[in-house]
Amino acid sequence: MDNFEKYIAENKDSFNEHKADRKKLWSNIEQELDKKPAPKVFKLWKSPIMKVAASIFIVLGLFSVISFFMNGGINPGQNDIVNQELEEIDMYYSSMVTQQVQLVKLNTKLSQEDKDEFLSFMDELDTEYKELRIEMKENLDNELVLAAIVNNYKKRIELIEKLLERINNSKNIEDGNGYIL
């Protein structure tokens, strides 16, 4: 301790120059002490942990809403795979169906009447199929919708098969005729 510090230490008391307003302070202190401890209200929003939790919750919420819309309303993840698989099956069938329809259209051995009848069935099934697709986007999990789609395809294939059968039959008859001739 140098002289300066010593000097101050010796004169410490002179730094106590203020006098407190005893009465005023005490009445405030007493008031505070007499206060019944207020029923503890745990304010969730005031706790820092809760604040952090809330922010995380909001961020997660926003993120999932955004990703929901980005994925056209279907949740990512597991459904993605299901969706993709479905899409592949769908593509396979639809290409098959259009190919067959094209074949029927180009077939010369069928009367215009038969063709129109067949194609009107096909169109009917097509609109039904489109409706089912929309339904499907809204709720992928619905087994009824899935079953309906499969049925739709089955009907088309059945229809085509029958038509082909008829064509082949007439071919056979013609062939037979040929041989007979």
Partner 1 sequence: METNILFTHKDLVEKGKSGDRSSQYQLYELYVDAMYNVSMRMLRTKEDAEDVVQDSFVEAFKNLSSFRYESTFGSWLKRIVINKSINHLKLKRVPITAIDDHEFHLNDETVEEKETDYDIKKIKKVIEQLPLGYKQIINLYLIEGYDHVEISDIMNITVSTSKSQYHRAKKKLIEMIKEL
Contact residues for partner 1 (CB under 8 A)? Answer: 2-5, 7-9, 11-12, 14-22, 24-26, 28-30, 32-33
Find the shortest distance in angstroms from Cβ 9 to partner 1: 7
Cα–chain center distance at 136: 13
At 6, list the tokens.
Answer: 């010593």
Closer of 36 and 111 to partner 1 (Cβ)? 36
Find the shortest distance in angstroms from Cβ 23 to partner 1: 11
At 113, list the tokens.
Answer: 């009447």
Burial 35-53 (b: 16+ CB within 10 A, else e): eeeeeeeeeeeeeeeeeee
Find the shortest distance in angstroms from Cβ 70 to partner 1: 44
Closer of 37 and 178 to partner 1 (Cβ)? 37
C-beta of residue 160 within 8 angstroms of C-beta of residue 99:
no
Closer of 4 and 69 to partner 1 (Cβ)? 4
Closer of 2 and 141 to partner 1 (Cβ)? 2
How far is it, in rounded angstroms, from Cα 109 to Cα 106? 9
Find the shortest distance in angstroms from Cβ 80 to partner 1: 52
